[in-house]
Amino acid sequence: MIRFDYIEPTTLKKAFGLLDKHGDDARVIAGGTSLLIMMRQRLLTPKVVISLARIPKFGRIAYSANEGLRIGAGARHRDIELSPIVKRHYPLLHETFRKVAQPRIRNMGTVGGNLAAGDPLTDPGASLIALDATVVLTGSQGQRVLRLDEFFIDYYQTALNPGELLTEIRVPPPERQGWSHIKFTPRSVEDFATVGVAITLSAKNGVCEDVRLGLNSVAPTIIHARRAEESLRGKAISDAALREMGEIAATEVDPMEDNRGSAEYKREMVKVLVRRAAQEAFQRAS
């Protein structure tokens, strides 16, 4: 491990002061499940590591019928998985977070660190996109709110500016809608997904009123498959319509060939899994 100074500020204001002071020489740590690996591999070599562990209420999970769900960026994956609020009102998130890696990782890793890393292979981002989530980005100069699908810029790149922290995730109040999450992992459920699909869908009299589709592990970023959504929105839900949705979703991805499969294989799996997820969401919506 490289040598570095370790600081534990007790307020966000102090954390921002340290970030402004140390600039590119500093990195923040929450759970550390990503940062420590990158430091061991010398992909990151910060001189100062700023812990967010002692900042009060940084991992708070709160819900109200008017405002929806508020998740502090320091909330652990396991906290979200086991939250009665999440399980009752946002079953898609409960299902997603219980599939993240394994309990030892879920007990340490935080949702804020997961999203801020910009890793396209991880699961939570796609489900949060399917729920129309936004993120709060905070710095010494103030706050700004972005839709999550605007937050992911490129491979391991996000819209965070220097000196900013992702401080909160906001999910709108739940609607009466069906949902599905499919994490396709031929090797082990603890592995990253070969293809990940998250969808929410509302329907009336067999017609799709609204649909949101997030995909992970199939492009340089976690993506919002808008063209696939438009192909189904306002139409009668049928096998043909769902098959078309899957085929269009496959044109929106740009998968990389790796030890989990070829790019063409992943495109074919997108076609199949989007159709299956939409069928399951429609059944729940009905």
Q: Is the CA virtual torsion 40, 42, 48, 50 positive or negative? A: negative
- Residue 1: the pLDDT is 84
- Contact between 205 and 188 under an 8 Å Cβ cutoff? The reply is no
User: For residue 46, how far is the Cα from the chain centroid?
Assistant: 25
The Cα 244–Cα 228 span in angstroms is 8
The Cα 52–Cα 19 span in angstroms is 12
The Cα 11–Cα 56 span in angstroms is 7
The answer, yes or no, to whether residue 17 has pLDDT greater than 80, is yes
The answer, yes or no, to whether residue 203 has pLDDT greater than 80, is yes
- Residue 49: the pLDDT is 98
Is 20 in a helix, a strand, or coil? helix
Of 214, 210, 209, 211, the C-alpha closest to 197 is 214
- Contact between 169 and 73 under an 8 Å Cβ cutoff? The reply is yes
- Contact between 202 and 177 under an 8 Å Cβ cutoff? The reply is yes
Classify residue 257 as exposed, middle or buried by CB count within 10 Å of its CB (0-12, 13-18, 19+): exposed
Is 185 in a helix, a strand, or coil? coil
pLDDT tens sequence across 209-220: 999 999 999 999
The Cα 110–Cα 31 span in angstroms is 6
- Contact between 223 and 252 under an 8 Å Cβ cutoff? The reply is yes
Domains along the chain?
Answer: 5-51 (3.30.43.10), 61-171 (3.30.465.10), 179-285 (3.30.390.50)
Radius of gyration over every alpha carbon of the chain, rounded to an integer in angstroms: 19
φ and ψ at residue 202, rounded to 5 degrees: -120, 140
Both tokens assigned to 279:
């069928």
Of 272, 198, 202, 271, the C-alpha closest to 237 is 202
Of 27, 20, 21, the C-alpha closest to 4 is 27
pLDDT tens sequence across 242-262: 999 999 999 999 999 999 999
- Residue 252: the pLDDT is 98
- Residue 236: the pLDDT is 98
Q: Which of 12-21, 107-116, 172-181, 183-192 has the lowest mean pLDDT?
A: 183-192
Provide CB contacts within 8 A for 267, sequence distance 6+: 218, 250, 253, 255
- Contact between 202 and 174 under an 8 Å Cβ cutoff? The reply is no
Both tokens assigned to 273:
């899994």
pLDDT tens sequence across 138-192: 999 999 999 999 999 999 999 999 999 999 999 999 988 999 999 999 887 789 9
Is 25 in a helix, a strand, or coil? helix
Provide the residue type at 234 as one letter: G
The Cα 108–Cα 244 span in angstroms is 40
Of 194, 164, 201, 214, the C-alpha closest to 255 is 194
